[in-house]
Amino acid sequence: MKNLPRIPIAHLPTPIEELPRLSEALGGPRLWVKRDDQTGLAFGGNKTRKLEYLAAEAQAQGALTLITAGAVQSNHCRQTAAAAAKLGFECILVLAGDPSEASSANYLLDRLLGVEVLWANWESRHDDLQRAYERAVKDGREPYLVPYGGSSPTGAAAYAYAIEEMLAQDLDPDWIIFASSSGGTHAGLVAGAHLCGYQGKVLGISIDEPEEILQARVATIASDVTKLLGEPTTFSPESVLVNADYLGLGYGIPSYLEKEAIQVFARHEALLLDPVYTGRVAGGMMDLISKEYFSPDETVLFWHTGGTPALFADKYRQFFA
Ligand SMILES: *Cc1c(COP(=O)(O)O)cnc(C)c1O
């Protein structure tokens, strides 16, 4: 794999830990966790890996401002705000949601990190981001548009390198399971698996998209990542493993599935998950284990993508009470 320009802001490699008490409690396969909740930048998460490459691209273009969008409790926005603060960019966040939502959790951290917030509707968030970007260009603020979820080929490439990192840690699991939403993490892992000859299965649990839509998105980004890394391959949507059985009532609306999983992970391994992404994946994984989807002699790596600050969001206070 070609080396892309990178600014080292993440704590890498992230640890890999075995989860023996959880495996036993679930009567399941051997479980491991990859701690990308520990990437270090203002509580870290998977976007920090992507931002090492995105910020390098922004710097190379002479950008002065990072601009991106997400939900009020977006982990991606909080990590972008942190990268901007650390590297001396200004930061504009286009947040979809209710401005009257108290500044708790990720949104509190955004404010602390010194961002400028513009408000958008959920439905029009992509257009609103585009408009905000054009405005910043006109105002001479030299903005770099960090795509939704950081999932451009440049951002996603970080997860191709992450496969290399995992294999160098001497873990070669039969399965990798993780949260997939804007698709960049998933695409990078798929591309990295191919480029590194990793033979295990890369199973993304969809957080908010139907199976076919996410498969197509991931295949496109993964193909672009291999092109960017100098070894072009075309992935078909059907080759991308997506499970969209756990969408529940939608994005950011946790239910009993997430609540139970968050408690089980906390009480057996003191591993903290989040209500939007990793809690949903863990709930799905527990359901799959109960259905004997994995065979008992297999190893499963739960790739923790972060998001834990959302545990402290006002929005979810009642949920955990
Ligand atoms: C953004 C995010 C994801 C999804 O990653 P994508 O690359 O957008 O698919 C998963 N988990 C957490 C905690 C996230 O913040």
pLDDT per residue as tens digits for the range 58-89: 999 999 999 999 999 999 999 999 999 999 99
Cα(77)–Cα(99) distance, integer angstroms: 15
pTM to 2 decimal places: 0.98
State the chain's mean pLDDT as an integer: 97
SS3 272: coil
Residue 321 has pLDDT above 80, yes or no: no
pLDDT of 273 reads: 98
Nearest to 178 by CA among 169, 192, 6: 192
Cα 170 to middle of ligand 1, angstroms: 25
Does position 44 have pLDDT exceeding 80, yes or no? yes
Picking from 49, 136, 48, the residue whose alpha carbon sits closest to that of residue 85 is 48
pLDDT band at residue 125 using 50, 70 and 90 as cut-offs: confident
pLDDT tier at 98, thresholds 50, 70, 90: confident
What is the mean predicted confidence (pLDDT) over 192-210? Answer: 98
Cβ(44) – ligand 1 distance below 6 Å: no
Residue-wise pLDDT for 227-244, tens only, equals: 999 999 999 999 999 999
Which atom of ligand 1 sits closest to the CA of residue 74?
15
> Which atom of ligand 1 is nearest to 156's Cα?
7
- Of 47, 72, 208, which is best to mutate to test ligand 1, by the most ligand atoms within 8 angstroms of its C-beta? 47
The catalytic residues are 74
139 CA distance to ligand 1 middle (Å) = 31
User: Is residue 181 lining ligand 1, measured as CB closer than 6 Å?
Assistant: yes
For the CA of 149, the closest atom of ligand 1 is: 8
**Are 203 and 210 in contact, with CB atoms under 8 Å apart?**
no
> Which helix or strand (DSSP H or E) is residue 159 part of?
helix 153-168
CB 75 within 8 A of CB 87: no
> Reduced to 3 states, what is the DSSP secondary structure of residue 69?
strand
Is the C-alpha dihedral spanning 178, 181, 142, 42 positive or negative? negative
Quick: pLDDT tens for 291-304.
999 999 999 999 99
Q: What pLDDT is recorded for position 315?
A: 87
* pLDDT > 90: percent of the chain: 93
